[in-house]
Amino acid sequence: MINTQPLLLEPKALQSLIGHPQVLIVDLSGPEIYNNAHIPGAVSLSYSDIVASQPPVMGLLPDEPSLSKIFSNIGLTANHHVVAYDNENSAKACRLLWTLDCLGHKQLSLLNGGLTAWNSAGMPTNNQAANIHASHYQAKTDQTAIADKVFIQQHLKDPAVVLLDARSDGEYNGEVVRAQRSGHIPGAVNINWIDTIDNDNDLRFKTANELITLYEDADITKNKLIITYCHTHQRSAHSYIVLKSLGYPNVKGYHGAWSDWGNDPNTLIE
């Protein structure tokens, strides 16, 4: 039963899973929010723990020893179904899910709408820290979910590959400069990640029909390999999970993203 949970989980469905020994609920809201009120039984994980940096490149996937330690500290095991949430637009929670997907950990769910939807539904919270039993999680990277600069350069003219730029219009067009160079990766299509969120429905994903139309109108179709990127692969991790929730079978995330591409004087840009 636990293994059949959907990638996108509604508050009522999560409430029924609280306390299940095979479910690990992870809160990425930050310690101040967590200490005030969180979903009962949830463990707190700092976003900074699941990203690494090699300035000026940010938002990299940490190495296997670091991830092993981080996930062991919150008691994660290979048998756990992880449910992630945060108190914002779910981008941090999605980055955790992408990270676990990179490790071949497939038992994953996102709380649709995060803490906003949970509170709006009148679900219970408390301020009691979870009782964590440290584990011995062994992180082993699976390249299926990962794209890097070399991979993208090899596929820039591949018609079967679509680059999805999840940044703002200004960043995509080069008007907003956040790296040594501005613009976008050649051929990339721009769908601002925020356009996939329903602000009138407690920050949930928009409906599947709305999202599929949004993507297919941009020629982002299920028969292609989709590579998502933003500036540090936080916003584009959200796009990654949106696509996976819609059944897109071949999706990769470019960690480092524009902070990697835009700070390299040798990469092509538009």
**DSSP E strand stretches across 74-215:** 81-85, 108-111, 146-147, 161-165, 189-190, 197-198, 204-205
Residue 124 burial (CB count, 10 A): 10
Query: Residue type for 125, please?
Result: T
Q: Are 80 and 97 in contact (CB under 8 A)?
A: no
Beta pairing partners, 90: none
Residue 7 backbone zone (phi > 0: left; psi -120 to 50: alpha; other: beta): alpha
**DSSP-assigned letter for residue 87:** S
Helix or strand (DSSP H, E) at 59: strand 57-60
- For residues 185 and 201, what is the distance between their CA atoms, to the nearest angstrom? 33
- For residues 129 and 83, what is the distance between their CA atoms, to the nearest angstrom? 17
Query: Residue type for 132, please?
Result: I
- Taking alpha carbons only, the member of 125, 135, 129 closest to residue 14 is 125
- For residues 150 and 160, what is the distance between their CA atoms, to the nearest angstrom? 17
- For residues 69 and 207, what is the distance between their CA atoms, to the nearest angstrom? 37
Residue from 145, 152, 230, 243 carrying the catalytic annotation: 230
Q: Specify whether 230 is catalytic.
A: yes
What amino acid positions are annotated as catalytic residues?
230
